[in-house]
Structure 1
Amino acid sequence: MTTDETYEQADPHVVETWLKGWSLARELPLPIADHGGLRVDVGWPDQQTRYVFPALGPGLFHFANTIVQPAVFLKICAPASLVRPVLPPRWVIQAPGFMMTRTLPAHPSRLPLPEGYTLTFDTANAGPIASIYASNGEVAASGRLAIVDDYIIYDRIATTPAHQRRGLGSAVMAALTTEAVSRDIRKGILVATPAGKALYETLGWKMYSLYTTAVIPHN
């Protein structure tokens, strides 16, 4: 079990696989090796670049001490209590993340939707997308997959606030899992928020690594 004092380092291959899937799902450039970690040139106004490291190390220390501009993110598979002391004060630790993995079931089942909701599947985009629509036509929940080698990466799993607590997130995950298994892929990876972690644990996902994010905020 990972604790703040001791933690098992994440497998760099697993971290790279997840980050490739994240990049594909968001139609961004694939990660590039940089100082022992991986860099994605994101290019969004609120996130120009992200550096991802499977563990604490010299590359992280280099960027933490040389980067001074905002909208550059450092992401590390380590507890925040170990990351915070090695960062200069200008860096702010964000809400915790949790890298999670699961061996997908061989025969997943779709979950029934509440009355008035419909689910559609779109495979024409960067990755398969499951969307649940409310009776008024608005998107109530959605999520997508990216495929990297023999892994499925789940990303952008979200339920709009007005439609939460109706099992829609679980229904999206079930639909995506059915699609993944139909492609003969049984290994899944995702990064969850604290709220998402609770949902995924009920669906059989296990925490693989703590995932700490730091950024220099805009003034």
Structure 2
Amino acid sequence: MPFSTTAEAVRAWVEGWAVSRGAAEPTAQPWGFTVDVGLAKEVARHVLTAADEATVRKLAENTAVAAVPLKVFVPPQTLKAWLPPDWVLLDGHAVLMAASLSAVEAPPGLPDGYRLRSWHRADVTRVVVRAADGAFAARGQIAVTGETSVVDQVETDPAHQRRGLGRVVMGTLAEAAARGGARAAVLGATEEGRALYEAVGWKVVAPLSAAVRGTREGGA
């Protein structure tokens, strides 16, 4: 693992995610970090770097609104057992992953008919792949924070899956971050995305689960 501890990887993920999404600077807490996001569906988020049942339960009981998810690096069954009954698990990230950028697979060539565009603003590089008719096919972005970086919002349209576009996006992002001075990267992966990331050089650091008070559709 390119990070000496899980806590280092978590810190890199929190700081880079905030840059990627234009969120506030993370605020350090005794148990981890709070990030003000500023959206109606996610006002803020609490990320717990060292979780135990007592800490999770106390934080959940002190979180009064449904738009402040907890992100905890334990399996979902463990988190569910720790939560009060009015909290629900969220779909979305399943594992935290990390990679040395030098070990990430270089991007393959694009399949015929596709074209890629990338641009860089305020330490964030974005990549979009479009089909021959101009339709969206795949995308992703990476935020560089010194020697570390965070891959974020990687997506391939279902109509364009299994054509290697995810490998193109991931390799292009890794190259961009390396040019920006980063040596390592971290991301929160879904179970569906995990196979792609492992195939191009990423390793699992820890399980990652999320929950909110009340009911809410979709992931955070």
Contact 1:142 1:159 in 2 (8 A): yes
Identity of aligned residues (%): 33
Distance (Å, rounded) in 1 between the aligned partners of 2:25 and 2:85: 30
- 2:25 is equivalent to residue 30 of structure 1: yes
Distance 1:44 1:89, change over 3 A: same
Residue-by-residue CA offset, 1:92-113 (whole Å, 9 max, x unaligned): 1123521001112269533111
Q: What is the root-mean-square deviation of aligned Cα atoms in Å?
A: 2.0
Matched residue type, 1:190: L
Q: What is the correspondence of 1:64-213 to structure 2 with a 5 Å cutoff?
A: 64-95=60-91, 96-105=93-102, 109-124=106-121, 126-213=123-210
Unaligned segments of structure 2, at least 5 residues: none
Q: TM-score, normalised by structure 1?
A: 0.88
Distance (Å, rounded) in 1 between the aligned partners of 2:112 and 2:43: 42
SS in structure 2 of the partner of residue 146 of structure 1: strand
Contact 1:56 1:83 in 2 (8 A): no
Aligned length: 210
Matched residue type, 2:120: T
* One of 37, 43, 58 as aligned partner of 1:42: 37
Distance 1:80 1:218, change over 3 A: closer
Distance 1:151 1:202, change over 3 A: same
Unaligned segments of structure 1, at least 5 residues: 1-9
SS in structure 1 of the partner of residue 124 of structure 2: coil
Equivalent in the alignment of 2:212: 215
- 2:56 is equivalent to residue 60 of structure 1: yes
Distance 1:202 1:41, change over 3 A: same
- Superposition misfits of 4+ residues, deviation over 3 angstroms: none
Contact 2:103 2:201 in 1 (8 A): no
Distance (Å, rounded) in 2 between the aligned partners of 1:107 and 1:53: 28
Equivalent in the alignment of 2:10: 15
